[in-house]
Amino acid sequence: MKYYSSRVKIMGAILSLLFAMVIALPAGPAESRAVEKISGQETQFPSFADLAERLKPAVVNIFTTKVVKGRSIQRFFHPFEEKGGPFEDFFERYKQFFGETPEQEQEFRQRSLGSGFIIEPQGFILTNNHVIENAEEIKVRLANEKEYDAEVVGKDPATDIALIKVKTDEDLPTVSLGDSDSLRVGEWVLAVGNPFGYGHTVTAGIVSALGRTIGAGPYDDFIQTDASINPGNSGGPLFNVHGEVVGLNTAIVASGQGIGFATPINKATVLLPQLKKGEVTRGWLGVGIQEVSSELAQKFGLEEKMGALVSEVFPGEPADKAGVERGDIILEISGKPVKDIKALLYIVAALPVGQKVDLKVWRDGKTLSLNVMVDKRPEERKLATRRWEAPQKQEEEEAIGMTVAEITPEMAKRMDLPPNEGVIVKDVDPQSPAGKAGIQRGDVILEINRSPVVDMKSYRDAMEKSAKADSLLILMRRGASSRYVVIKKEA
């Protein structure tokens, strides 16, 4: 019994010593890391506590007010308006004459929430354009609860980026801007913002995807993340683990969970000098473009799909003056390769207005170099709305499943078409080769296998010339734009 008691005392002493050693160990950093073995390797998972504490002072909550006009329904009540009362007759006649619920146009003050982040000590703040658009009053609140009035310095609706500035004489805390081009799928990211008015909320996740297109505009190129983003987060920063801003939280999928989108910060840094000047200008070549599919690449003699296919050249614009032709495939601009139309849009947008650039195009199996003077991209190009009515003569139905007809001078005038250009598609079988290729009623056929179509005769000649081909390269116009499609003939 004494032996057992001695062993217990010894074990107790050892445990006490071990516990004391653990207590005496130096404390680790606040940004601790839990370690877990995965496939034999140690993987570290970060704690964002220190990072969040360091970054929050430079993240701001934005509150805006704007006046909107609307119609309100106003009901009139009177203390004597009661059933069977002495004034019942009067009010019944009033309702019949004026109506029971007259509408009145009124002005309403609409309040909105958003987020932003300070990029310069003088109070320059980046946010989304939709956060401050049409705002008559902008208030900015910092993490220390200080509030400032702010004004818009510059904005760019095309990329939904805006620069505002608070009115202050003191230096404010700032964030560091990172490089969104170096992001990789799977990286940790941290979002800080003002969701639903709950100021300075921190959420974490990973980069789920890069280069996402969500239909927001011509410059779609979003970072997808599963870090929670909600209404009010718009304009707030998306940080990497180094505490650098890599994106502006911009959009969510309302019906989804864990799907948020951020504008890459490199988009904003490129625009910053122009935003500070109050105006954003972009380069303009004056061409209509479309993606080069594998089928189109084969038809145009390219070994692989690359570049951007010119489906239309606008008369009198820079590309037209430089000799660019419809059917050219733009491969390079100023030495920068054009992988697809998204790359072309970004390269052209960044070109300085008034500068000459070298354009490398693929035409008829050869590479040509052209010199183009960059113009300023129009803010809004008004395109004619075209209506079509089916002609009653000179119709011709093809085995590919569409019926075409001559375009009369009256139709050409009404549709704002140049004279002697194309034949019109009167009808299409959706299950036919033409229907599967995307041809629709009202489209105008301009070319068949690079042969121009100006009337029914040239259409028939082109179809006859291509009778033995297993597919047709069609240039067609729809509305105000042109594009190429490939129609595969059925065996």
pLDDT in tens, 401-459: 888 888 877 677 767 777 678 888 888 888 888 888 888 888 899 999 888 898 888 88
Which residues are within 8 A (CB) of 433 and not within 5 positions of it... i.e. 6 or more apart?
400, 401, 487, 488, 489, 490
**Active site residue: 156, 160, 221, 443, which one?**
160
Q: What's the pLDDT tens digit per position in 211-268?
A: 888 877 777 889 999 998 888 889 999 999 999 999 999 988 877 788 899 999 998 9
Mean pLDDT of 206-214: 90
**Active site residue: 130, 220, 320, 340, which one?**
130
* Model pLDDT, residue 397: 53
Task: Delimit the domains of the chain by residue range.
Answer: 56-166, 176-277, 283-376, 395-488
Alpha carbon of residue 422 to chain centroid: 34
Q: Is 200 considered catalytic here?
A: no
Count of Cβ atoms closer than 10 Å to residue 351 Cβ: 20
Do 56-166 and 176-277 agree at the fold level?
yes
Q: Give me the residue label for tokens 């704690």.
A: 47
- Please determine, for residue 334, whether its predicted confidence score (pLDDT) is greater than 80: yes
User: Any idea of the CA torsion for 175, 180, 182, 183, to the nearest 10 degrees?
Assistant: 100
CATH-assigned architecture of domain 176-277: Beta Barrel (2.40)
* Model pLDDT, residue 71: 52
395-488, superfamily in CATH?
PDZ domain (2.30.42.10)
* Model pLDDT, residue 379: 63
In angstroms, the CA 394 to CA 163 distance is 58
pLDDT band of 9, cuts 50, 70, 90: low
Q: Is the domain 283-376 a CATH 3.10.129.10 member?
A: no
Q: Is the dihedral of CA 177, 181, 183, 185 positive or negative?
A: positive
* Model pLDDT, residue 91: 46
The phi and psi torsions of 235 (rounded to 5 degrees) equal 90, -10
pLDDT band of 12, cuts 50, 70, 90: low
Q: Is 130 considered catalytic here?
A: yes
Q: Is 160 considered catalytic here?
A: yes
Mean pLDDT of the chain: 79
- Please determine, for residue 73, whether its predicted confidence score (pLDDT) is greater than 80: no
Which residues are within 8 A (CB) of 53 and not within 5 positions of it... i.e. 6 or more apart?
none
**Active site residue: 180, 234, 311, 466, which one?**
234
Burial 277-289 (b: 16+ CB within 10 A, else e): eeebebbbbbbbb
Q: CATH for 56-166, among 2.40.10.10, 3.40.50.300, 1.20.1070.10, 2.40.10.220? A: 2.40.10.10
* Model pLDDT, residue 74: 42
